[in-house]
Structure 1
Amino acid sequence: MEHRLLGKSGLAVSKLCLGTMTFGNTTNEKDSIDMIHRFLDRGGNFLDTADVYVQGKSEEIVGKAIKDRRSEVVLATKVRFQTGKDFNSAGLSRKHIMDGVDASLKRLNTDYIDLYQVHVWDEFTPVEETLRVLDDLVSSGKVRYIGCSNFLAWQLMKSLCYSDFNKFVRYISIQPQYSLVSMEMDREVLPLCIEENVGVMPWAAIGSGFLSGKYSKGLQPTEGRLHKAMGESSWENRNTEKNWKILHTVMEIAEQRGAKPSQVALNWLLDKKGITSPILGANTLDQFEENMGTLEWKLTEDEWNKLDEVSALVDEYPNRFIDKFRRTLNV
């Protein structure tokens, strides 16, 4: 599998990242471990989990799976969400991060975390407190690199500036929701990541299963992830006229190429400027194998452009205004 540098670092990660949110829940432990081993055997090295996935069970399973292969793995996990009953068991304070990293290291059965990510912005904790403790963790050897997830552009830029000014380690990556049916990051976050050389690891890369092709217009699902999902991955957010047009294009290309719709969606992401390593999720080994088949072929330029056009955001202010008065150089 091809590898890419993660942001402004020398850390090489596989072009697909294996997500483990389902491990210990919809994916049993045996299949989860098997999935990780198959991924590593095919040249993948990038695994992503979080302290809140299945109340820590996901981290425990990952720890068991990589016990004898730790040096092969770029291991990523996250901290921020509620892990206990009191107020301090959430957030990005020094206390919660210090407690969180030790708990994750124990569950993962390892001495260090390659990429430690803050799961979402914390409005209560000063950014300087968060970045200082993350810098301390890198200095201590418990963490090697840091990243963020679900940040607005100003939150990421403020963090990068604070790190640079104080000579702290900076976020080398961001993990946002991004797919053909979730293009909001194109407004500001993705251009910022390209400008500042921040790696991008999209979650919900096939729209929480919407782009797998198993859903039909006008038929609300009674099972599967979209049936019970809330928030960003809800049926309400997926069931739009634009998204059905996108899915129609995906299905059309898949049929012409003899491929799976999910492979089309992932292939588009792999060739998107600024995207480092889309997160591959699967409930079953069959789903895993189907998604890994993405690496066996590539979209043509015309196919890629067709998908890019149908999924593009409406041109809004201030981008519309900026583009109107963009300067050009006649040489």
Structure 2
Amino acid sequence: MTYRTLGHSGLRVSRAALGTMNFGLDPQAPTPEAEAHRIVGAFLDAGHNLIDTADVYRGGSSEEVVGRAIAHRRAEVVLATKAGGPRGAGPNDRGLSRAHLTRALDASLRRLGTDYIDLYQCHLPDPDTPAEETMAVLGEFVRAGKVRYAGCSNYTAAGIVGAQWAAERLGVPAFVSLQAGYSLIARSIEAEILPVCRSHGLGVLAYSPLGSGVLTGRYRRGAAPEAGSRLAEWAAMPGTMARSWVAGLLADRHFDIADEVAAAAAALGTTSAAVALAWIAERDDITAVVLGPRSAAHLAGALDGLHRRLPAGIRARLDDVSAATVLPAVTGQPRAA
């Protein structure tokens, strides 16, 4: 098993991270608790250690499921969660203020059934809270032993720089990681964000490496997402943001890229998912790839893809056809309640 240090920290993490957005207790959760336990067991048995969740996933029940799944193997796990998303209707029930983060951390610790979180991440930027306030309270969490390291998610390059400078001015721990969407159909972070992460010592955790399923061939050009799929769930959410996100994902250019991935998979005798994951796993700037399997079988296939190496010609072709691709200007991803 190959591990990498996370940014400028000494924390060593596996090349695969287990994303748990699908885990939940509600009847609509794609992955019920029993299957989630099987996935976590298989992931850890394979030697991987980074498990990522968030307090907004499935209304918080993802954290509950994760906590129970790792309870007897806590020392093996680098446990990551996120805060800052909406947890109620009140004005202080979201964001990165001291008031919200303090409550959010204590609630996550209870749901996860643990005394500490290895990587506590700011889920979304909060333009209404000064970076100094956020970094100061994260530093207090670290000093109290409730958090080992702090990270961020969905930040812009400017937001990363501002947070790192604030931490330096305050003399508190800076961010060690960024979680960002990255795939063959979403390479916009290469322009500014990845260089900033290199210069400011952040490791990068890449989520949605399969382009929310577009790169696997699950969706068809010109057709609505099938009922029961993630994109169908997002398209049914209230408001226009989620529908715009789905429309952007199903753009013709993204299907052109998916067709190239499928051709590469046919030439190599493997799956489109394996090709897309192999491409991203070879990127030096990516510390870990966040996988979001719905079943233990899906996990096995994804892990196989991460261990593959693409022939130089195929890799160059994929680089060329996907160059400068960007998703719509939407922060983060739609989130199920």
**TM-score, reference length from structure 1:** 0.92
- Identify the residue that residue 256 of structure 2 maps to in structure 1: 245
Contact 1:74 1:115 in 2 (8 A): yes
- Identify the residue that residue 155 of structure 1 maps to in structure 2: 159
**Is 1:274 the equivalent of 2:279?**
no
Superposition pairs of residues 251-266 of structure 1, within 5 angstroms: 251-266=262-277
Contact 1:175 1:202 in 2 (8 A): yes
- Identify the residue that residue 233 of structure 2 maps to in structure 1: 228
Contact 2:188 2:325 in 1 (8 A): no
Name the amino acid aligned to 1:4.
R
Higher RCO (Cα < 8 Å, 6 or more apart): 2
Superposition pairs of residues 284-299 of structure 1, within 5 angstroms: 284-299=295-310
Name the amino acid aligned to 1:8.
H
Name the amino acid aligned to 1:114.
D
Contact 1:23 1:61 in 2 (8 A): yes
Q: Note the alpha carbon deviations across 1:12-38, whole angstroms, 9 max, x for none.
A: 000010000000111000000110010
Residue in structure 2 matching 1:130, options 134, 151, 162: 134
SS at match of 1:84: coil
Residue in structure 1 matching 2:80, options 62, 70, 76: 76
Q: Which has the larger radius of gyration?
A: 1
Aligned length: 315
Residue in structure 1 matching 2:117, options 113, 118, 123: 113
Contact 1:226 1:234 in 2 (8 A): no
Name the amino acid aligned to 2:32.
N
Supply the distance in 2 between the matched residues of 1:267 and 1:273 (Cα, whole angstroms): 12
1:193: Cα distance to partner? 1.1
- Identify the residue that residue 13 of structure 2 maps to in structure 1: 13
- Identify the residue that residue 86 of structure 1 maps to in structure 2: 90
Q: Note the alpha carbon deviations across 1:215-262, whole angstroms, 9 max, x for none.
A: 222222232112232547843112223212211111011111111111
Contact 1:220 1:235 in 2 (8 A): no
1:296: Cα distance to partner? 4.1
- Identify the residue that residue 4 of structure 2 maps to in structure 1: 4
Supply the distance in 2 between the matched residues of 1:125 and 1:261 (Cα, whole angstroms): 42
Q: Note the alpha carbon deviations across 1:101-135, whole angstroms, 9 max, x for none.
A: 10000100000000000001111111111000000
Q: Note the alpha carbon deviations across 1:294-316, whole angstroms, 9 max, x for none.
A: 1442112222221111111179x
**TM-score, reference length from structure 2:** 0.90
User: How well do the aligned residues superpose, as a CA RMSD in angstroms?
Assistant: 1.5
Supply the distance in 1 between the matched residues of 2:162 and 2:180 (Cα, whole angstroms): 17
Q: Which runs of 5+ in 2 are unaligned?
A: 236-240, 327-337
Contact 1:78 1:119 in 2 (8 A): yes
Supply the distance in 2 between the matched residues of 1:106 and 1:55 (Cα, whole angstroms): 14
Residue in structure 1 matching 2:318, options 279, 282, 307: 307
